[in-house]
Structures are given as C-alpha cells and as structure tokens.
Amino acid sequence: MCIIIGADCVPSESNEEAFSSGEINSVISNELANVFKEANYRIVNLEMPLTDANIKISKCGPALKASPKTINGYKSLQIDAVTLANNHIMDYGKEGLQETLDVLKANGIAFCGIGTCIEDARKPLIKAINGKTIGFYSCVEHEFSSAGENKWGANTFNEFETYKDIHKTKKITDYTVVLYHGGKEEYRMPSPQLQLRCRKMVDYGADLVICQHSHCIGCYELYKDKNIVYGQGNFIFDMCDNEYWNSGLLVRINDNLSIDFLPFLKKNHKIFLAKNKEKESLLAEFEKRSQYINVEANVEEAFADLVNKQIYSYMYKISGVERSIVFRLINKISGYRFGIYYIKRRYRKQGFLNVLNYIECESHREIVIKGLKSLIEEA
C-alpha cells in the first residue's frame, strides 16, 4: 500500500492553462509525477472552488477560484480524493461550491470536509486500500467557510463534536488520518493550543494528524507513537515566491503504516523532488525544529516571540485605524514606532483588559461573534 498526501493544490495564473489542458508535466517534474502514478491512493487539499461564478462572499482576505476546466490537471495527477475543509472553498458561495462538487463527481474524484449542512460536512471519507480500511477526517478552523445546521460549507473544528467524530471514525477503520486546516500562516511551529488540540485528536483515535494551511514546512512529533505533522507546506500553489512557499512535503503512508516525508522545491514555477544536499538540508531543518518542540517551554517561547512581533498588527485591524492612509504613511516613516505608540495611548491597560475579556470569556465572545455577523449583514 502506498498513499500520497499533498497539501494545497491550487491552479493559479502561472499554471492554470496547464491544469486546464492536463499538461501537468509543465507544472511538476516527471520524477514527482511518477511518485503519484506509483501510489495506490492520492489525496490533496483543493484550496479553492472550481467555478465560473462571479459573486464573492463578504470576507477579509483574497477570494480564490479556478476554472472548472482545471479539473484536467487533477485527473492527470491521478488524484483520487480532495479535502475541501479549508478557508477558501466558500469564496464564491453556494453556487461556487455546487459547481465544484458537480465537477468532482463527474470526474470520479471523492471529497470530504464539506456538505450541504454541518452534519453532512462532518462525515469522514472511508476507503478500502490494499486490504486496509483507511479513514480521512477533514476539518478547518473558523473563518468564512463554516457550514451550519442548514447552511452549505466546511466542517469547522468543534471541541464538542470533532473529537467524537474522530473516535467514531477510528472504530470503523484500521487507520485514521486527520487533515486539519489550521495553524498560523508562515509560522513553522505549533502554537501551544494547536499542539494541545492535535494531541487530543490522537487521544481520541487519530493515527496520523497533518496540519495544512501554514504554507510552509513546519515540524512533527511522535505523540503516543502517532505522528503529528505541524505544517506540510503547499503542494502546487504558485502565488508567492519566498522561503516559505518555495518548498513543501508530501507525506507517504506505506504498507506497514509507517510514514515517509518527501520534500520538494519550487523553481521557476515548477515543482521538483528535492535531491542530494537540498533534500538533506530541508529534512535536517525539519528534524531540528521537530526536536526543538519536544521541550514544552520551547513551544511557548517561540509562540511568545511570534505574538510580540504581530500583536500590534492585529490591534491596528481591530481598531480600524489601519484603514487610514495617513496613519499607514506616518507609521511607515516612523519605522512602525508610531503605530505602537498610538495603540498604547488609545487603549491603555483598561482598554486591553476589556478587549481580552470580550475575546477570552465564552459568554462575551458569543455576543461579539453574533453581533459582528449582524453588523456585517447591515453594512
């Protein structure tokens, strides 16, 4: 048995024509294509709807889509299934999702993590592969793709239901894979909460947990003899050119249910299996980070450093001041010191305590979330 798991597989401007024609060898190397051909089963994350719809949903961040014709690229890769529990699958609403599902069904590609309601979206994908029953359970953090009781969308993580779903899936499978779309973008470590969440998934029966969404190779740990991968990087997602987006990992599940990591690199818009020193370097850094997170204090320390670097950016957005061109100009000229001064003066200690309480307290947070959704509808 050989199962290949890839992360974000997204047609973009540089390769949409190749996806549409099915000429995937212009996008990935022959050697990498052979990895897919030799597998018994292949599953990737489809990070956008395949649709001709033009009406975007209201959200922050970019709205992504690709032509339904790009399904030919997935067929050339011999993709058997896709995960759809991600933060972009609902970018073009119910119409975009419906067209995506129709295209997948017409081409014999299975999917999980999505549905016409939350109960539907929570269903795992169960496959018999070389005599073993494999379960794929897919969920995503809360952004703008969430399914509801009577609402199309993705299976969002729910501390009351997700662990039970994993436990039920494990009861009817030999091996359960959880594909969790979450984690901080371009951050190679788990946050303390993410690590706790993924370990809890193992406690409830997951044999392998893979975090996607971060757009970079992260690290992994063995927890109770089960693998947790905190960041797989992208697979095919040619929208940025930097140290994070230019490499990734395929995860291969072998017949004895052991796993291998297959690193690859993006060069000149094409994906190649990493070799020799490049492969050694990617895996060595991956292993170094993995050893680092074995110490709990290190996870806390690394996350605290990230928070210190980014908290003011979050507060700019919450306060609304970032919309001011004058503010952005003054802040940039000052080396971003003005923004820090402004936030500290505007909120002071009591203001920060109020914001923290509204976010941290369950009752307040519920009001804030419901109220903001109402305000968005009125805007």
For position 125, what pLDDT does the model report? 98
For position 149, what pLDDT does the model report? 95
pLDDT digits (tens, 9 = 90+) for 142-200: 999 999 999 999 999 999 999 999 999 999 999 999 999 999 999 999 999 999 999 99
pLDDT digits (tens, 9 = 90+) for 29-47: 999 999 999 999 999 999 9
Q: Say if residues 230 and 183 touch (Cβ distance below 8 Å).
A: yes
Six-digit token pair at 51? 């649709």
Q: Are strands 132-140 and 175-181 parallel, antiparallel or unpaired?
A: parallel
pLDDT digits (tens, 9 = 90+) for 335-347: 999 999 999 999 9
Q: Give the percent of the chain with pLDDT over 90.
A: 98
- DSSP H helices, the chain, are 16-21, 30-37, 71-76, 93-106, 118-121, 162-171, 192-203, 276-292, 296-319, 325-333, 337-360, 362-378
For position 195, what pLDDT does the model report? 98
The CATH fold assigned to 3-294 is Purple Acid Phosphatase; chain A, domain 2 (3.60.21)
For position 39, what pLDDT does the model report? 97
pLDDT digits (tens, 9 = 90+) for 104-154: 999 999 999 999 999 999 999 999 999 999 999 999 999 999 999 999 999
CA-CA distance, 191 to 21, in Å (whole number)? Answer: 41
For position 27, what pLDDT does the model report? 97
CA atoms within 13 A on the CB side of 70: 25
CA atoms within 13 A on the CB side of 97: 27
Length of the chain: 379
pLDDT at 379 over 90: no
The answer to whether the predicted template modeling score (pTM) of the entire model surpasses 0.75 is yes
Q: Give the percent of the chain with pLDDT over 70.
A: 100
CA-CA distance, 177 to 266, in Å (whole number)? Answer: 26
pLDDT at 323 over 90: no
For position 208, what pLDDT does the model report? 98
For position 322, what pLDDT does the model report? 85
pLDDT class of 285 with cuts at 50, 70, 90: very high
For position 154, what pLDDT does the model report? 98
If phi over 0 gives left and psi between -120 and 50 gives alpha, with beta otherwise, what is residue 250?
beta
Q: State the SS3 of 21-63.
A: HCCHHHCECHHHHHHHHCCCEEEEECCCCECCCCCCCCCCCCC
Domain locations in the chain as residue ranges: 3-294, 298-378
Closest of 127, 150, 140 to residue 253, by C-alpha = 127
CA-CA distance, 183 to 286, in Å (whole number)? Answer: 17
For position 72, what pLDDT does the model report? 98
Q: Is 185 in a helix, a strand, or coil?
A: coil
pLDDT digits (tens, 9 = 90+) for 52-102: 999 999 999 999 999 999 999 999 999 999 999 999 999 999 999 999 999
For position 313, what pLDDT does the model report? 92
Mean pLDDT of all residues in 256-280: 96
Using CB atoms within 10 Å of the CB of residue 375, give its burial: 0 to 12 exposed, 13 to 18 middle, 19+ buried.
exposed
CA-CA distance, 48 to 175, in Å (whole number)? Answer: 28
Mean pLDDT of all residues in 242-271: 96
CA-CA distance, 109 to 320, in Å (whole number)? Answer: 43
Q: Which amino acid is at 250?
A: L
Residue with tokens 């030999």, as numbered in its chain: 174
* Distance from the Cα of residue 300 to its chain's centroid: 22
